[in-house]
Structure 1
Amino acid sequence: MAAETILTAIGKKAGELAVNQIIIDGSRLCRVREDLEWIEIEMGRIQSYLQDAEAIQLKTAVVSNFIREIWNLAYDVEDIIHTYFPKLISSWSQWNGLLGFRHMKSARAFSKGVEGIRKRVEDITKARKDFEADARSTSLEAVTTYPRQTFPHADEPYVVGINTIVEDLKQKVLDKDLHHPVVSIIGTAGVGKTALARKVYNSVRQHFDCAAWICVSERPNEQQLLRDIAGQVGLEENKMEQNFETNLFELLSTKRYVIVIDDIWRTTAWDALKIHLPTNSENERQIILTSRIEDVGLYVGGTKSIFKLQPLDLETSRQLFYKMIADDPQNINETQYSPQLKNIGEQILEKCGGLPLAILLAAGLLRGRSDSAWKGVLEGILGMGQDNDKWFDIFALSYKDLPLYLKPCFLYFGFFPEDREIEAFDLINLWAAEGFIRGSEVREVEEVGDDYLNQLIARNLIQVNQMKLDGTVFTVQIHDILHSLCIREANEINFFKIHTDAVNWHSTCKVRRIAIHNSDIGPYLSLHPQTSRIHAMLCFFPKFGWEEMIDPKKNEKREGRVTKNLLQDSKSFRLLRIENDYIPLSVSTEICNLRQLTYLKLANISGPVELPSAISNLKSLLTLDLRESWWGIYVPNVIWSMKQLRHILLPPDCRTSKYRWDSLGKLQRVEFSLTNLQTLSGLSGELFKADWLYKLNSLRTLGVYNPTKTWSKDIIEVLSDGAPVSHKLEKLWLHTYKDKQPILKLPKLKSNSLNLSRYENLCSLDLNRLKMTELPQHDKLPPNLTILTLAFTYIEKGPMETLKKLQKLKILQLLMCSYEGKELVCPGEHGDFPELEVLRIEGLPYIEMVVVEEEGMPRLRDFKIIKYPGYSKMPETRIPDRLRNIIVMTTE
């Protein structure tokens, strides 16, 4: 939790506890009430101190230490309340209101802890005077935010002056006569290497059989990088399990491929990758790499491969600058800026030194601000002067200028490995679990998180990598320079620590959050045997630690060190995320004893995971994310009674018990109570009774996975009932049968059995493996549907006559085997498909003709037809001339 957020929450919590029944009734607890009232007042005062300290533009050591002390104080007060009040309430309940020994002992311990806090508050009040002389009378004006719902620069970032370079490199990649197998884009950090590589990659990838993009970074995991390549070039799933490197090599040996290796630092990383990439194949191959280090490019591709990307000249810098601060980037009007503002802009541009990233951040500081604020920005940039890197001042000011509530959200990006692509959904849930974002009577906490994310994007501090079909953000990424800034600022206030193979911080640090990056946690535990203060841990590719191991000296099995030294000792855990590891049952049991846990994610775990019934102990858990546990997971029925849960995400292979006879409802009565649930994804019939859906009246996203015909019918009946299961439902996907089941032999769903017309907020519908003769009539579909995806529905009757009547439909995807007809006709009468913008036709085995009538689809801007190898020939088309420039017909 951010210091300011903690202080606010503590003050509020203390006020609530001060009037708690156990305090009122217990006359001997008047001291506790006095302590709580004091905490409520003092935390508000300390919060104002923090705001004053953060407003100082030039951070001295005194100021930095002062801020760090406030962070530590906030965490310690929070620990005291969370430690003692559950004990007070529990013992009060056990003694039926009597002041028992344990009750009074907890009360005395609480008061003793507050005494120590009082002394620290006095010290902080005195220390405040030491930095007041450094405070400046003016501070940067609060920025006017522009929450964005769509980001047109997500796929192609705003770059200027490189079109000629892109064309030159494109020709170099595609020139079969000269054939340059490697193109090395070399340049300083932030100069735009990745943006240039992305433009070249997107313009040439359709000329190759397959393509892949990987980010290597400073500490790569070569095995995972190869798996990323394998996944992108289409290596079959069964060939990913054993000898996947050999299988990848054999696949690429038969393909024309282009692979981007972004941000590679060392030749050793290339040596580890190249032995699995065929280099003497008769087929064309192309490597595009980016690096800060010219010697790496020379080593990989030789002198002829090198292209040095230089900073922008002044005129090009000016174009990018005014493009980024304009309200409408397509309509730039420099005359709206006075000569004085232009002069300030020129000084800022000079400080940027032609570095595109610096220009983007400077524009993010100025966009939407008043004229008087431009001077403050310039003063802030000139006043930083703490780093030898002339550009870093702008980066640091961009962080410093953030409102207090956004700073911890931004710092959280440093928690992830460098160049990591992060799902917006994951990030917002982490923020919520930490308490950085809070809902209100007007907005849900997830909506506040979306707003915070949009503010960071509007400031150009993070970039959008992938968009959802509805135009909202799917994944984001942070530039490695800003990633370093996050780590630097986090170290200043002990916000988190990164643990790698090298021991990189002092053992006396009060660490609250740790991230394990491709390393063994053992050295950390040897330095930090007391881990009770840890609130959050994110493990990315950890080595050892969790699994049971053989002691080589005693030749006996012992539990993983983390199980014994970390989970058992750290009862304050709020967040736990483990990726790419093995989780024995003993660890699962320990996890279920972390009673403060608010967020749990287990991803890419090697082997099945079993969660015991003790998971019901996690009374504060908000997010349970198991969707990437591909080896299967056993989830107890008690999760349906955990009423505080907001997000449950399950994998396809999910069961209630290891024993087949222990199925739902046979051994125990399940109390279903999930009134706060927002997301339920990966639901299957073995875990869930269809009529429980009636109790999910807060649900916004529902993903159903039906392994049985009977349950499939039940779930559709409930969804099609007279009243919707949730008026808030926005996204629904129904995947009826498992991939390996013979779907063609299953009975067809009657078109009139599915009725979603009462779901007025349902905007996205995905029907997959739901076999039907024809679509339901348009008045049986959601009235405000904007996105429709069909796959393996085997529709026999042309669907367009129904779909043309959906007045809000913007995106239509007819994917694998969704339609079995030979001709697909899109009507063109007035009022047909009035809002449709995207049409994707992919993998229809019998299609021979696609027709769009003259007036049909007036707003269509993206039209793609994809034929898979081995299917019938590419269909013919009869379409209006206005669509000739946008249609793409390809084989994938």
Structure 2
Amino acid sequence: MVVETIFSAIGKKAGELAVKQIIKEGSRLSRVREDLEWIEIEMRRIQSCLIDAEAIQLKTEVVSDFIKEIWNLAYDVQDIIDMYFSKLISSWSRWKGLLGIRHMIIGRAFSKEVEGIRKRVKEITEARKDFEADARSSSLEAVTTYPRQTFPHANEPNVVGINAIVEDLKQKVLDKDLHHPVVSITGTAGLGKTTLARKVYNSVRQHFDCAAWICVSERPNEQQLLRDIAGQVGLEKDKMEQNFETNMFELLSTKRYVIVIDDIWRTTAWDALKIHLPTNSENESRIILTSRNEEVGRYVGGPKSLFKLQPLDLKTSRQLFYKMIPADPQNIDETQYSPQLKNIGEQILEKCGGLPLAILLAAGLLRGRSVSASAWKGVLEGILGMGQDNDKWFDIFALSYKDLPLYLKPCFLYFGLFPEDRQIEVFELINLWAAEGFIRGTEVREVEEEGDDYLNQLIARNLVQVNQVSWSGRVASVQIHDILHNLCIREANEINFFNIHIDAVNCHSICKVRRVAIHGSDIGTYLSLHLQTSRVRAMLCFFPEARPEGWIYQQKKKEKMEGRVTKNLLQDSKSIRLLRIENGIISSSVLTEICNLRQLTYLKLAKKWELVELPSAISNLKSLLTLDLQESWKIYLPNVIWSMKQLRHILLPPDCCTPKYRWDSLGKFQRVEFSLTNLQTLSGLPGELFEADWLYKMNSLRTLEVNKPMETRSGDIIEVLSDGAPVSHKLEDLRLCANISNLSELKSNSLNLSRYENLCNLDLFRIKMIELPQHDKLPPNLTILTLTHTYIEKDPMETLKKLQKLKILKLLFESYEGKDLVCSGEHGDFPELEVLEIDDLPNIEMVVVEEEGMPRLRDFKINPSWQCSKVPETRIPDRLRNIIVMTTE
């Protein structure tokens, strides 16, 4: 829970060695110990007050003020603990164990602050009596928690009643006689415009030469949107450097493209985009747009382009509602619903008004509760009792948040810190929650596993949408609907949970805000508003990626100006625990200040066009759990990184090295004490900066990605991985990528991963070999295998067909140099394979799948090599001809 998280700082601070020593040796500071014990006990009582207050669905102004006062009290307690204990520790360090008068002064000041806290706690305790009865009478029935699981709606949203609409729009998009290239889908927020557009897009994109999807939202960055389009339609890297708009226009003029422009609010956004998009219909290109504003659709495509999406009728609403209530939507049994339940359901549906998002959220409120009249009636009364907004659907949206257990509320609110319509990587999201202390591991479960459970509960309630699912079946990326994004911001403002800075500050009590997100603007503008930053615990900066003409000069000029204000910000924000900077200024002076943030637990720096030289002072960050640099262009990495034993996740970019002219300060030739025993993720590991034997100490590793695995300081990483015992029994994900200029040939018998029983995903890139190792040398539970530039001469199918758990096989870019690929039809060959992708194999002439081969295959793609556009001949069973996709370019 949030309050529990805040008050856990007490135990953490008291547990620090210097504080323990002060309290132990200084009898005159016994009052400090007593105050700490009182705070810890009393704050847990206050937490129960918050739980009772949150249970009241219909909140009066008195109750809302009470909740806000508890939050403010929690913030103030955290500030007092952080401030005085840092002073005690600092004083102890300087006096080297001598208990001086300064300690007494600090201790007395701390006790004086606690006296003020005592008075406020007494007032809160008295106020609790005023609404305890209401809390008991109006709280909804407890909801069952949801263990880790996969969701049927992960790959395809659970919608009903739109298949006919999808088919009509598909025919319209593919209609060669369409006189205007635009199809406009308009309607109220929450009707499912994006879902409909996605279904149409996925069903037609294979008919076009190239495709792109962009989300415009309310405050678009048109330059970044154009760059997104350019990247998706395949504009070459060198043509992205200068005049990319012109180069993109020329490319699209020669292609038949389909582009989705999702959630466009204003005609001005279209005016900025259209001049760079050839919209003549001669090559039958198409633009699909979605908008809440019918006039925008009319302006862009004319009245004939409009498709007005309507609310669901009652029959379709019922289908969706009853489909989404069970934990497993594929196992629906409507007979379990009595007439009394159906009557209550009809009243809930009436409140939903045919809006799919409202229906999904209402079903999410019921899911996990008992199928009983009392449980359903409690939800109905909760919806009717909200009555806080003129929006007829808002009561359901608000109740979906209010009904969350206290420990899930901050996790949901965190989505509001990200830009609207942002697709969020689950790996990053859970690490942010962990850095904040919202989730904690147990003796039997890792913190990441707890985070998965929390996210699953939010997904099960339909508050969070799944975008992508990983090879293992876990959710990989998520987002929330923009209506719910606005709800997050609204609720966060009520308790000063965070502040979003775009062009103006939208928080009425910024002085106590603990989290700040800067969207699009710069840090200098934020500071110019004379905001206090000393209380900030988390800062997330989302700056646009843009490289206009003359960008180098502009960037240097901006760096001199903004680098100073960023440095000043960090100097004044010593309590920051979480820092995320995306495309902002990351100068050496800024990095120096970052290394002084001793409480930092999470650091992400994403700088796509410039070098980031990480200083050796990074080792000062003794609390750092996650270091994410993978979205940076190039990193200079100091050796001290291998001694930061508390790190759990390190993510590095492909280009990572030691500075040439600073070997002495970075210790390139000094022996390093490797201490990363807690590390779970090591992505982008530069082999030349690593010693292969260090792997033996990484027994918690789950994900390992190594660049240049055969070029380490000592030994060969592949040899270590193939040694008698696995380096980590927990290893699930392994990617090995050799240097393109040094393709050392790997002997087929030297790779032995058979002892890695949990290794499910294996990616070999530029690992040259004549033939694959025997199947019994590969991981026994291998689920996905990707081979790229492996130059195998012997048909790999003979080995791979014996992998009993293999579901996805990708043979890419010169992975195989032979002419024929043959899958026999013998029983037991490829028993689980579902996806086969063959791409850019220049010598391939024939692909054969015998009659009984690959019995579960559902996705079969063959793309010819750019060196030879000839499509290979295929001999496959009729059952596979319906699923095979073969491109001609």
How far apart, CA to CA, are the structure 1 residues paired with 2:528 and 2:477? 36
Structure 1 residues 175-186: aligned runs within 5 Å: 175-186=175-186
Give 2:378's aligned residue.
376
Q: Which segment is superposed worse, 278-287 or 54-63? A: 278-287
Cα displacement string for residues 533-561 of structure 1 (whole angstroms, at most 9, x for unaligned residues): 001111111699xx999999xx9965635
State whether residues 172 and 179 of structure 1, in contact with CA within 8 Å, keep that contact through their aligned partners in structure 2: no
Shift of 1:865: 2.1
Q: Which segment is superposed worse, 577-586 or 16-25? A: 16-25
Among candidates 731, 734, 750, match of residue 733 of structure 2? 731
Normalising by structure 2, report the TM-score: 0.95
Classify 1:129/1:307 alpha carbon distance in 2 versus 1 (closer, same or farther; 3 Å): same
State whether residues 150 and 472 of structure 1, in contact with CA within 8 Å, keep that contact through their aligned partners in structure 2: yes
How far apart, CA to CA, are the structure 2 residues paired with 1:508 and 1:316? 45
Give 2:687's aligned residue.
685
State whether residues 744 and 767 of structure 2, in contact with CA within 8 Å, keep that contact through their aligned partners in structure 1: no
Among candidates 474, 496, 499, match of residue 497 of structure 1? 499
State whether residues 699 and 730 of structure 2, in contact with CA within 8 Å, keep that contact through their aligned partners in structure 1: yes
* Structure 1 letter corresponding to 2:586: I
State whether residues 84 and 106 of structure 2, in contact with CA within 8 Å, keep that contact through their aligned partners in structure 1: yes
Shift of 1:152: 3.2
State whether residues 221 and 544 of structure 2, in contact with CA within 8 Å, keep that contact through their aligned partners in structure 1: no
Give 2:296's aligned residue.
296
Structure 1 residues 91-490: aligned runs within 5 Å: 91-92=91-92, 95-132=95-132, 134-147=134-147, 149-280=149-280, 282-370=282-370, 371=372, 372-490=374-492
Give 2:534's aligned residue.
532
Give 2:549's aligned residue.
none
Classify 1:618/1:842 alpha carbon distance in 2 versus 1 (closer, same or farther; 3 Å): same
Cα displacement string for residues 658-693 of structure 1 (whole angstroms, at most 9, x for unaligned residues): 528669854433221111111000011232222111
Aligned alpha-carbon RMSD (Å):
2.5
* Structure 1 letter corresponding to 2:590: V
Q: Which segment is superposed worse, 532-541 or 6-15? A: 6-15
1:799 aligns with 2:796: yes
How far apart, CA to CA, are the structure 2 residues paired with 1:551 and 1:803? 53
Q: 3-state DSSP class of the match of 2:687? A: coil
Classify 1:572/1:207 alpha carbon distance in 2 versus 1 (closer, same or farther; 3 Å): same
Q: 3-state DSSP class of the match of 2:754? A: coil
State whether residues 563 and 585 of structure 2, in contact with CA within 8 Å, keep that contact through their aligned partners in structure 1: no
How far apart, CA to CA, are the structure 1 residues paired with 2:566 and 2:66? 36
State whether residues 14 and 40 of structure 1, in contact with CA within 8 Å, keep that contact through their aligned partners in structure 2: no
How far apart, CA to CA, are the structure 1 residues paired with 2:400 and 2:559? 54
Shift of 1:438: 0.3
How far apart, CA to CA, are the structure 1 residues paired with 2:856 and 2:663? 55
Give 1:825's aligned residue.
822
State whether residues 11 and 44 of structure 1, in contact with CA within 8 Å, keep that contact through their aligned partners in structure 2: no
Shift of 1:777: 1.1
Give 1:577's aligned residue.
580
Classify 1:560/1:543 alpha carbon distance in 2 versus 1 (closer, same or farther; 3 Å): farther
Shift of 1:18: 13
How far apart, CA to CA, are the structure 1 residues paired with 2:668 and 2:225? 45
Classify 1:684/1:621 alpha carbon distance in 2 versus 1 (closer, same or farther; 3 Å): same
Give 1:877's aligned residue.
874
Give 2:627's aligned residue.
624
* Structure 2 letter corresponding to 1:756: L
Shift of 1:180: 3.4
* Structure 1 letter corresponding to 2:754: S
Give 2:40's aligned residue.
40
Q: Which segment is superposed worse, 309-318 or 814-823? A: 814-823
Classify 1:711/1:847 alpha carbon distance in 2 versus 1 (closer, same or farther; 3 Å): farther
Among candidates 830, 833, 836, match of residue 836 of structure 1? 833
State whether residues 173 and 180 of structure 1, in contact with CA within 8 Å, keep that contact through their aligned partners in structure 2: no
Shift of 1:182: 0.3
1:861 aligns with 2:858: yes
Q: 3-state DSSP class of the match of 1:824? A: strand
How far apart, CA to CA, are the structure 2 residues paired with 1:558 and 1:261? 35
1:63 aligns with 2:59: no
Give 2:606's aligned residue.
603
Shift of 1:201: 0.6
Shift of 1:505: 3.1
State whether residues 7 and 47 of structure 1, in contact with CA within 8 Å, keep that contact through their aligned partners in structure 2: no
Classify 1:129/1:509 alpha carbon distance in 2 versus 1 (closer, same or farther; 3 Å): farther
State whether residues 214 and 228 of structure 2, in contact with CA within 8 Å, keep that contact through their aligned partners in structure 1: yes
How far apart, CA to CA, are the structure 2 residues paired with 1:137 and 1:493? 24
Shift of 1:806: 1.6
* Structure 2 letter corresponding to 1:465: N
How far apart, CA to CA, are the structure 2 residues paired with 1:359 and 1:349? 7
State whether residues 739 and 766 of structure 2, in contact with CA within 8 Å, keep that contact through their aligned partners in structure 1: yes
Among candidates 586, 589, 595, match of residue 586 of structure 1? 589
* Structure 1 letter corresponding to 2:477: T
State whether residues 762 and 785 of structure 1, in contact with CA within 8 Å, keep that contact through their aligned partners in structure 2: yes
Shift of 1:853: 2.1
Classify 1:558/1:396 alpha carbon distance in 2 versus 1 (closer, same or farther; 3 Å): closer
Q: 3-state DSSP class of the match of 1:30? A: helix
How far apart, CA to CA, are the structure 2 residues paired with 1:154 and 1:164? 22
State whether residues 31 and 111 of structure 2, in contact with CA within 8 Å, keep that contact through their aligned partners in structure 1: yes
State whether residues 214 and 225 of structure 1, in contact with CA within 8 Å, keep that contact through their aligned partners in structure 2: yes
Classify 1:181/1:124 alpha carbon distance in 2 versus 1 (closer, same or farther; 3 Å): same
Q: 3-state DSSP class of the match of 2:768? A: coil
Normalising by structure 1, report the TM-score: 0.94
State whether residues 19 and 85 of structure 2, in contact with CA within 8 Å, keep that contact through their aligned partners in structure 1: no
State whether residues 625 and 649 of structure 1, in contact with CA within 8 Å, keep that contact through their aligned partners in structure 2: yes
Q: Percent identity?
A: 84
Shift of 1:21: 4.3
Classify 1:227/1:414 alpha carbon distance in 2 versus 1 (closer, same or farther; 3 Å): same
Classify 1:362/1:786 alpha carbon distance in 2 versus 1 (closer, same or farther; 3 Å): same
Shift of 1:605: 4.1
How far apart, CA to CA, are the structure 1 residues paired with 2:797 and 2:527? 62
State whether residues 548 and 559 of structure 1, in contact with CA within 8 Å, keep that contact through their aligned partners in structure 2: no
1:784 aligns with 2:781: yes
Classify 1:524/1:419 alpha carbon distance in 2 versus 1 (closer, same or farther; 3 Å): same
State whether residues 2 and 410 of structure 2, in contact with CA within 8 Å, keep that contact through their aligned partners in structure 1: yes
Give 2:655's aligned residue.
653
Give 2:701's aligned residue.
699
Q: Which segment is superposed worse, 575-584 or 482-491? A: 575-584
Classify 1:385/1:18 alpha carbon distance in 2 versus 1 (closer, same or farther; 3 Å): farther
* Structure 1 letter corresponding to 2:836: L
How far apart, CA to CA, are the structure 2 residues paired with 1:876 and 1:864? 13
* Structure 2 letter corresponding to 1:578: I
Shift of 1:830: 1.9
Structure 2: runs of 5+ lacking an equivalent = 547-551
Cα displacement string for residues 295-318 of structure 1 (whole angstroms, at most 9, x for unaligned residues): 111111111111100000000100
How far apart, CA to CA, are the structure 1 residues paired with 2:274 and 2:78? 51
State whether residues 10 and 43 of structure 1, in contact with CA within 8 Å, keep that contact through their aligned partners in structure 2: no
State whether residues 419 and 478 of structure 1, in contact with CA within 8 Å, keep that contact through their aligned partners in structure 2: yes
Classify 1:33/1:162 alpha carbon distance in 2 versus 1 (closer, same or farther; 3 Å): same
Q: Which segment is superposed worse, 254-263 or 632-641? A: 632-641
Shift of 1:784: 1.6
State whether residues 501 and 519 of structure 2, in contact with CA within 8 Å, keep that contact through their aligned partners in structure 1: yes
Q: Which segment is superposed worse, 407-416 or 715-724? A: 715-724
Q: 3-state DSSP class of the match of 1:834? A: coil
Cα displacement string for residues 835-879 of structure 1 (whole angstroms, at most 9, x for unaligned residues): 222222222222121112222222223222223555342222222
* Structure 1 letter corresponding to 2:579: L
How far apart, CA to CA, are the structure 2 residues paired with 1:465 and 1:665? 43
How far apart, CA to CA, are the structure 2 residues paired with 1:44 and 1:331? 42
